[in-house]
Amino acid sequence: IMDKFRMMFQFLQANQESFMNGICGIMALASAQLYSSFEFTCPCLPEYNYAYGIGILIVPAIWFFILGYVLNNNVSILTEEWRRPAGKRGKDPSILRYMFCSMTQRALIAPAVWISVTLMDGKSFLCAYSARMDLRQFLNDSHDVLPEKDLVRLLAKIPCKTIFDGHDVISREGATRYIRCMSQAFGWMFLLTMTLVAFMVRAVRPCFTQAVFLKTKYWSHYIDTERKLFNETCREHAKSFAKVCIQQYFKSISEEIVPFHNQSHSEEGKEKHEDEDEHTSDDEKLLGIHEKEDMNKVLWNWHTCKPPLQLYKHKKDGSLNGQSSADVQTSSYYGHRSIKNRCAAYYSKV
């Protein structure tokens, strides 16, 4: 079972878009389930009905919207890309807009489901507008006309079946059906509007700006992939750094302890040879960084001045893409960093 969960987790990591779509679907189902288990209790007071009904409609939708951003991994990527220094790599506002729009589209799914379900049910709309809509057509003509203040207080009790005491003044059943019908009409209009907007955004926009759309989509995926590879490379380096540090600690301690004399020299030589091979492999994964200050400098330079998006390829004559060795020496420091980063990706098996 654990292997299946591990394979599923790796699949979701490799397919982040599918993972985020799944999260949005789960949030949409959670919003509908939350509303079905929610106990709606209207205060049935003209001073509080509107605030309570609209609050039930809007506040959970805002909460689901913010939660959609919180659960999206691209929020930190967008913030980091927006706040980082330009350095050797400029920032493209169109890429930031594309990432923000993608996150916003996914974050709007759960709030849209909540608002749709709430309007289709009609309870919050009934509570909010029972005392604000014109319901004179449901009044009993044979009854004396009530003062405006008493009539408003009576209309506010329409959502509460148990405490409503004006059946001889107004038809509660007719007024309730009318308000719920209006609520469902607004719900279908909301669904139609959201569907048309989603269609315009996802289908029509790429037709007019296909080249720009492909460019922003590509570099958005690149930023996400680059961050994953950098984190994985740092994880592998930290693992090798810790392993070598622990080995050096035990080696220094073992020099102070009298070794066992029962082991044969051949076994000691074999174990020593294996330890040397393993130590060499771990040392290669360190990529020449063996001190804490050096690693902190590397991480700081990566944040403040990322290398340019420019790759070089070695040729047999010792030049890079037709450049002489002198040109290579005068090239930017970050050009060499990009080559080292490619080697780092190879050694860390990323």
Report the C-alpha gap between 325 and 334 in whole angstroms. 16
Higher-pLDDT residue of 30 and 155 is 155
| Model pLDDT, residue 309 | 79
DSSP state at residue 200: I
Between 51 and 216, name the one with better pLDDT.
51
pLDDT of residue 279: 57
- Whether the pLDDT of residue 342 is over 50: the answer is no
* Mean pLDDT, all residues of the chain: 76
Mean pLDDT in residue range 42-54? 92
Residues 137 and 253: their CA atoms lie apart, in Å, by: 94
Determine the pLDDT at residue 11.
53
> Which of 130 and 332 is assigned the larger pLDDT?
130
- Residues forming a β-bridge with 314: 320
Non-local (6+) Cβ contacts of 68 within 8 A are 24, 27, 103, 106, 107, 108, 109, 110, 111
Per the model's pLDDT, the better-predicted residue between 5 and 178 turns out to be 178
pLDDT value of residue 314: 53
Q: Name the residue with higher pLDDT: 21 or 67.
A: 67
Distance separating alpha carbons of residues 327 and 325, to the nearest angstrom: 5
Over residues 131-172, the pLDDT tens digits come to: 888 888 888 876 677 888 888 999 999 999 888 888 888 889
* pLDDT value of position 29: 73
pLDDT at 231: 87
List CB contacts of 311: < 8 A, sequence separation 6 or more: 338, 342
Question: Is the per-residue pLDDT at 287 higher than 50?
Answer: yes
- Stretch among 184-188, 219-223, 301-305 having the lowest mean pLDDT: 301-305
**Mean pLDDT within 184-188:** 95
| pLDDT at position 334 over 60 | no
CB 44 within 8 A of CB 157: yes
| Top-confidence residue, 124 or 264 | 124
* Per-residue model confidence (pLDDT) at position 316: 46
Q: Identify the pLDDT of residue 16.
A: 56
What is the spatial distance between Cα 134 and Cα 150, in angstroms, rounded to a whole number? 15
| Average pLDDT of span 33-47 | 83
Spatial separation of the C-alpha atoms in residues 214 and 212, rounded to whole Å: 6
Instruction: Using alpha carbons, select from 57, 62, 99 the residue that is nearest to residue 221.
Output: 99
CB half-sphere exposure, 149, CA atoms < 13 A? 0
Q: Is the pLDDT of residue 259 over 60?
A: no
